[in-house]
Amino acid sequence: MKAEEGRPLSGEELKLRLVDKTVYGEYLGGFRFISYFALDGTMEGRNHVGCHNRGVWSIDAVEGALSVEWDNGWDRTTTRAYEVEGQIRFYDSDTGRWRQTLHTIVDGRLPLNV
């Protein structure tokens, strides 16, 4: 699937969908995860093998791109957000690959249990 096949999300749309939300998704290598995006630009997450981490996030309002940097080096990326078949998918234009997919988004902070 190519990025052109999804609808690009604006920075404002992305903020409305992520800020103060708990998100469930998948990323490269088949890892499942749950993360919380706090209002202050911090985040916390856990994957299905039990790794827990904290980090920071930001959204480029013009590009609709999400930048994340995890404290322990899990990932440090800037990816463009697209809505694809009801999910949010993140495309890395540097590598030409899809990276993360968010399939469930819930208001507020929930326990980080995958």
Give Rg (Cα) of the chain. Answer: 13
Question: CA 16, 8, 79, 103: dihedral to nearest 10 degrees?
Answer: 60
Counting every residue written for the chain, the total comes to 114
pLDDT at res. 108: 96
Question: CA 59, 47, 72, 23: dihedral to nearest 10 degrees?
Answer: 20
Per-residue pLDDT of 16-34, as tens digits, reads 999 999 999 998 888 899 9
Q: In the structure, what pLDDT confidence band is assigned to residue 42 with cuts at 50, 70 and 90?
A: very high
Per-residue pLDDT of 64-112, as tens digits, reads 899 999 998 777 889 999 999 999 999 987 888 888 899 999 999 998 8
The reply to whether 113 falls in a domain is no
The reply to whether 57 falls in a domain is yes
CB-based burial label for 7 (10 Å; 0-12, 13-18, 19+): exposed
Give the number of other Cβ atoms within 10 Å of residue 71's Cβ.
12
The reply to whether 46 falls in a domain is yes
The reply to whether 25 falls in a domain is yes
Q: How many domains does the chain have?
A: 1
Closest by CA to 10, choosing from 98, 88, 92, is 88
Residue 57's beta-bridge partner residues? 68
Per-residue pLDDT of 48-61, as tens digits, reads 998 999 999 999 98
Give the CATH number for residue 35. Answer: 2.40.128.640
Closest by CA to 105, choosing from 35, 58, 54, is 35
pLDDT at res. 3: 55
Which residues span the domain enclosing 49? 3-107
